[in-house]
Chains A and B, each alone.
Chain A
Amino acid sequence: MTIHGLWVISKAGGLVFSRSYSDILPPQPVNTILTLAGILHGIHAITAKLTPTPIPGVPVGGLESFEAEGWGGKVFLTPTGTKFVLLHSIPQTGLDDLMKRIYEIYSDAVMKNPFHTPEMPINSSLFETKLQTLMSGVNA
């Protein structure tokens, strides 16, 4: 499995972090990714509405993963509304564990940073180096 990239989307639908970790998917300008992240945020809400068998009283979940022919994306929604989007190759294994690791790194390096403003772009070299180490371990 190869990880192609990671996006972090704030609860308002704005892209706060994006990195590419492989060169299989062509590099995109930041503006394109910003647009796509916004679209994904909207799709997430609509897919929840299309649920054919909702259980009354239980909140319905939105998009969790999508697949193209050679790669896919995994969406993880935290309880606070932040979304992590992982672009990966197919077949994939252990994405849930990897997602948890990323969330852990995010909590440690971003949320515990007193100089970080919530909902704003993430500028943390600690976050980036930790992610880089994790991803190079997975992609190796």
Chain B
Amino acid sequence: MTIYSLYIFDRHCECVYYQDWHRTRPVRAPPQTSFKPGVHRLPPPPSTTSSQPNGNVNRESIFSENAAAAANRNSLVSNGTSTSQSQKLSLPKGLPFDEEAKLVYGVILSLRNMVKKLSGRDEAFTSYSTSSYKLHLFETPTNYKFILLSDPSSDSLRFVLRQLYVGPFLEYVIRNPLVKVDSREEGVDNDQFRAAVDRHMKGLSMFN
């Protein structure tokens, strides 16, 4: 049993916190233009692109709204050659963080709406799984969404997300006057919270 990553989204659909543990494909830092402080502690992207062929950053992207016009053209060109794109996708290289967060949020929002529509009432979507991971969702009454990725064989881990909410999140984020909750400009990251979440996760029996 393993735990891969934790995302917290606020009611403005913005990712306000991110932490990961056992990913073999680490997420990449977002480009400077869409960088938001206080969310993650990813190393900043290299300023020179000498090590990478030009346009490589945008090649994996399925969004292009953040890309510059020239890079956009590059990504369109590379989309035309589908073989090179599929080769790039098979490499263990992650998406930029901002795009990955958007994808996660989009998936849970769509599934949540689908569940609501199918059940005809306000029923909560709780988890989904693929052959390689399982995603758990816990939603607070204030519309914070706690999302945990674990390995697919794990049982429901919503109780863990609830514990994170009533424990570290309330103590070090909500009761912390220095955290700008609901600011939309920055996340809720601080040393105490990150340490408490880390401690909590590493204390779980399913964390290896």
Contact = CB atoms under 8 A, between A and B. Distances in A.
Interface in A39-66: 39-40, 42-43, 46-57, 60-66
A66 B130 contact: no
Given A32-B117, A39-B110, A49-B95, A61 B123 contact: no
B5 interface: yes
A63 B134 CA distance: 9
Contacts, number: 107
A67 interface: yes
Contact of A63 (B118, B125, B130): B130
B103 A46 contact: yes
Contacts of A46: 103, 106-107
Interface size class of B (residues with CB under 8 A): 35 or more
Contacts of A40: 114
Nearest to B125: A68
Instruction: Summarize B's interface: helix, strand, loop or mixed.
Output: mixed
A47 B104 CA distance: 8
In the complex, the 8 A-B pairs of residues with the closest C-beta atoms, listed nearest first: A66-B128, A61-B131, A26-B120, A52-B4, A53-B24, A52-B23, A68-B115, A67-B127
Interface of B: 4-5, 20, 22-25, 62, 90-92, 95, 100, 103-104, 106-107, 110-111, 113-115, 117-120, 123-133, 135, 149, 152
